[in-house]
Amino acid sequence: MLNLRLKMLTMKSDMFNRIWLIVPFMSYQTRELMAFADKHKWLLERGGSVLFKTSDTIDPQIADQVEAAGATLIQRVDSGLYDAWNQAMDHLRDAEIMEGAYISFLGLDDEIDQDFCIEVAQLANSSEQFDFIYGDGRGILNRRFKDRASPSTPALFGKDNYAFDVPHPGMMNRWATVNHYRFDTCYKLAADFDFYIGIAQRKAVSFRHVQKIQAMIGADGISNGVKAKDIYIQEWKAIGLARNVKLNLDIKRMGVMRFIARNPFIFKLLRQLYWAATAKKL
């Protein structure tokens, strides 16, 4: 099977032509920017696309390197992550990418999986078109990793009692399904949750769980920080009220995490110890 996959990668230079990765970043992350492009060279060389979005002006030499790698760079002022995603999607609308394309949102500390993309490419060219294709998650922190299996029927695409129970970075979104929606920029951290609930409320979506790691996800971002605990609780409540839906939240666990997060030093220490005790070494 592995030899077959390698042969397919070698023979089909346009194998990933339906896959777009959207990656926002800040100007001080230019080193990580080139590292991301290098890690995804296999995707770019075989027809896949990477769209980098920044609100800053990048050194022209760096911009040239990005373009030379086969990626696209948008330099335009935005108000934050969700506005950057909206602008990236506006760019894809203007570029009139194919309706059957799949887009995925990632950070510079994430890395999409090659085998997962092969499965997506095959499904994208099949007769059955899925609105969302997702796999299992793998969190990475300090050279340690933890895997998280995704459900075959996720609450995220249900009709009530919603939960963000599939990994977001690397999940594939069919362009024809998501291109009429936008992220609500009034949210700081939970606009992606609101985005998917809004779609699921309006239509019956189809989804496919691929039993592979979809991406290696950096576990040290802002969403895992101390301040995020309060923000998430407030914004999840706001989403429930605004959408008039029930959210499947572990209130007790959230309360404990919020209490611990009042002391940043203890919070970070306990998190490091938890990862050391439960994660595996790379």
For 29-64, how does the pLDDT look when each residue is reduced to its tens digit (9 = 90+)? 888 999 999 999 999 999 999 999 999 888 899 999
Query: Residue 240: inside a domain, yes or no?
Result: no
Query: Residue 263: inside a domain, yes or no?
Result: no
Query: Residue 259: inside a domain, yes or no?
Result: no
What residues in the chain have per-residue pLDDT under 50? 1-4, 6-11
Query: Residue 164: inside a domain, yes or no?
Result: yes
Query: What is d(CA 4, CA 27) in angstroms, rounded to the nearest whole number?
Result: 40
Q: Which range of residues forms the domain containing residue 172?
A: 2-221
Q: Which residues of 65-94 are buried (b: 16+ CB within 10 A; e: fewer)?
A: bbeebbbbbbeeebeebbbbbbbbbebbee
Q: What is the dihedral of CA 220, 223, 229, 230, to 10 degrees?
A: 140
Query: Residue 116: inside a domain, yes or no?
Result: yes
Domain count, the chain: 1
Query: Residue 270: inside a domain, yes or no?
Result: no
Query: Residue 254: inside a domain, yes or no?
Result: no
pLDDT at residue 277 in the model: 75
Identity at 270, one-letter amino acid code:
L
pLDDT tens-digit map of 203-227 = 899 999 999 999 998 866 655 555 6
pTM, full prediction:
0.89
